[in-house]
Structure 1
């Protein structure tokens, strides 16, 4: 890494102490702290941050803002929790709200705004979002036209993971249409291997991987306009188009000839953790696993993740070529529960290309930030994700469950899809979710 990149990407470790002392211990320290000059004046303060990002991923996140802390003197007290979605409302109602939360669901952000808990974004936050993000990404973090959540991280969900080495050895070609994908599935099954493996267990969020399957498929069968109507509840949750899409998903996820390679039958899908869902690909006991770009975190370090390696991903093919290239994705939004200046300063920084670059370097994390230096991303899948997010020919839609009211998107939709995997018929599962939609 050259010196110019160091100045762009972060504060060298040898300069952290100098910056923390005021950023005045020589020209090198001053230059390294220059990107943080606009956030000064709050030294000695602390900002508490709460999110669902934890374990190794939490370490990568906190590394990404080390320079901000060192140069501004603002301490960040971070907590990641597996129970974030369920616990945050209770913390807010009991007066224990964090200063800043990283929301993976705009629907949960909206509910916190409606409850009067989240503050409107400050002027600096709005300015950064207007400059560095598309109107759609700003809309995802807004309620009634007012910005409350600044976009931070992003991911692409329309991927199928596979082994290029295994495909090459077996003479399989990466499918470019849905029909080809099903034909390949039949061929793999005929060769004695279950073509798909899946896992949807995720603690209190069990079931969410199926919501992604349904949303990706609905985009490909009914198109983005119907998708938007469904997410916004302008058509019923159990609209015939949604029933048809879920039945199509069932042709894969509930097909005993197709799943669950490496784990057992269809019933094992509900009890297999999403982190482990695709791992049998490495043992060649399954061939494909539909999961988001962030799944790259869960492959062993010894696995070669590239176009010719042990693991890679292909774009989930369209069903109707006339529908173009729909892409389902998601992201994280920073919402503040206080308008204290140090909190707004951190929120503004999180919406900058500098922070996006830090996330790329420390965690190989993708962002929809227009200023992201995509060359900093370490893996081909991350670069492919960033390219798709920036491609004007792609029809992008945000994860529907994340946009829905939290009681549905992070509640009955998850439990309903779990019941569906366990055998509840499609119409009944979707009707129950429809009945749960808040008035």
Structure 2
């Protein structure tokens, strides 16, 4: 049993801020939310690619996902070129209870034709029901062509490949004020050592703490530290050790994991570094993740905040989110400037039927054509599809995320807690790291998480 995905938790937690931040914060960058002009539908695509599937006119394909109004409009708009080419009717349904409902439907034998699955753990559960079907050869070929091989691995179960990736997210980001950096002469760091040096310099300059942070998130309190720790696990120990750690092939209380949490502690448990404008170290546990990075904008209390690309939606009305704006983000560097570990998340298009119209639609969703169509009508969405043109992305944060994802030196790894059993990834990991931020030592923390791992 795997826990609710990070994207699911954030969607709910940000429900109150998306209407403000995503439209306003990103509008300041030149965008204004999902397109209302159905521009994708007007684009011509090569319809001959679907001729091998036969006459599909009048057929129907059902799609089930966690993405609800208004975010779902970009998806349905991006489907229109396929509908125009084939005559297939794509029937989309979004549900905030998707993760629970899709398992119920699959086990009962009445799943949708395609589900947009937000994590590898849930995908494996759905495959285990026996109702999911392997991806057709055309989809597999497109994934090999357009994605890094790690992505194929996340949708492979017992040697069989099931689903092409859809959207992606970048978590390895640090938010900052370009104005402050320019005024103070600060440089964006390119190594972990430089990040530490920058933090020391900001602290020594006085008047502000270098970092602000918050992990409060209702029942999910603690999850931001899991992202911090996963980023440091990946950077300090490398992708192979990270993979073993996620699969519990090395213990949670081993030297690798201990070093990663201590690496995080050098920032988050350092009184000289945190919690700018919000309190002392312990205040991190009671500060909501939504509020944590906002002091960056005032320029007086903190300078840095580690959070994923979605955080652009959280800044107040009128905030310019851009490289020359009020706030922007830079890549959380690796141990050296040549390494490019990236922590992120994503979604997968998993099918439960192998009718021709379903295969044809799956194939469309695995192409660079669909990725670019989706990019043109979306805000706050990006793909790791190598064929995506960053110029089709409408705001600077999306373009930054795409640049990171598509960098040939990037070594991408999926969010670890979203792949761990629920007893760890959405329980012990959250709770124990929360206790750690309020005073519990590292050894006790990693020992308690290791002891909670299902036998």
* TM-score, structure 2 as length reference: 0.80
Structure 1 position 95, deviation (Å) = 5.6
User: 3-state DSSP class of the match of 2:330?
Assistant: strand
Compared CA separation, residues 164 and 201, structure 1 to 2 (3 A): same
The answer (yes or no) to whether the contact 1:11–1:33 under 8 Å persists in 2 is no
Report the equivalent of 1:106: 120
Structure 1 position 340, deviation (Å) = 4.5
Report the equivalent of 1:20: none
Structure 1 position 94, deviation (Å) = 5.4
Count of residues in Structure 1 that have an aligned counterpart in Structure 2: 415
C-alpha deviations, 1:383-412, integer Å up to 9, x for none? 232222222223332322233345533443
Of the three residues 390, 399, 405, the one matched with 1:383 is: 399
Report the equivalent of 1:302: 318
Of the three residues 143, 149, 160, the one matched with 2:157 is: 143
User: Aligned partners of 2:281, 2:106: CA distance in 1, in Å?
Assistant: 40
The answer (yes or no) to whether the contact 1:196–1:288 under 8 Å persists in 2 is yes
User: Aligned partners of 2:419, 2:278: CA distance in 1, in Å?
Assistant: 32
Report the equivalent of 2:29: none
Structure 1 position 163, deviation (Å) = 0.7
Report the equivalent of 1:329: 344
Structure 1 position 244, deviation (Å) = 1.5
Matched, 1:350 2:385: no
Report the equivalent of 1:116: 130
1:176-325 equivalence runs, <5 A: 176-190=190-204, 191-203=206-218, 205-284=220-299, 285-300=301-316, 302-319=318-335, 321=336, 324-325=339-340
User: Aligned partners of 2:102, 2:39: CA distance in 1, in Å?
Assistant: 37
User: 3-state DSSP class of the match of 1:396?
Assistant: strand
User: Aligned partners of 1:309, 1:332: CA distance in 2, in Å?
Assistant: 30
C-alpha deviations, 1:155-206, integer Å up to 9, x for none? 2222111011012123322223323322332333342212222233445544
User: Aligned partners of 1:315, 1:322: CA distance in 2, in Å?
Assistant: 11
Compared CA separation, residues 336 and 188, structure 1 to 2 (3 A): same
Give unpaired runs (5+ residues) of structure 2: 1-34
Report the equivalent of 2:19: none
Report the equivalent of 1:395: 411
User: Aligned partners of 1:359, 1:302: CA distance in 2, in Å?
Assistant: 26
Report the equivalent of 2:47: 34
Report the equivalent of 2:6: none
Comparing 126-135 with 137-146, greater Cα deviation is found at 126-135
Report the equivalent of 2:447: 431
1:4-15 equivalence runs, <5 A: 13=38
Compared CA separation, residues 180 and 131, structure 1 to 2 (3 A): closer
User: Aligned partners of 2:337, 2:240: CA distance in 1, in Å?
Assistant: 14
1:68-83 equivalence runs, <5 A: 68-69=82-83, 72-81=87-96, 83=97
User: Aligned partners of 1:15, 1:45: CA distance in 2, in Å?
Assistant: 20
User: 3-state DSSP class of the match of 1:363?
Assistant: coil
User: 3-state DSSP class of the match of 1:395?
Assistant: strand
User: Aligned partners of 1:14, 1:226: CA distance in 2, in Å?
Assistant: 45
Compared CA separation, residues 399 and 11, structure 1 to 2 (3 A): same
User: 3-state DSSP class of the match of 1:235?
Assistant: coil
The answer (yes or no) to whether the contact 1:42–1:342 under 8 Å persists in 2 is no
User: Aligned partners of 1:75, 1:379: CA distance in 2, in Å?
Assistant: 28
Compared CA separation, residues 217 and 345, structure 1 to 2 (3 A): same
Give unpaired runs (5+ residues) of structure 1: 1-9, 17-27
* TM-score, structure 1 as length reference: 0.83
The answer (yes or no) to whether the contact 1:111–1:406 under 8 Å persists in 2 is no
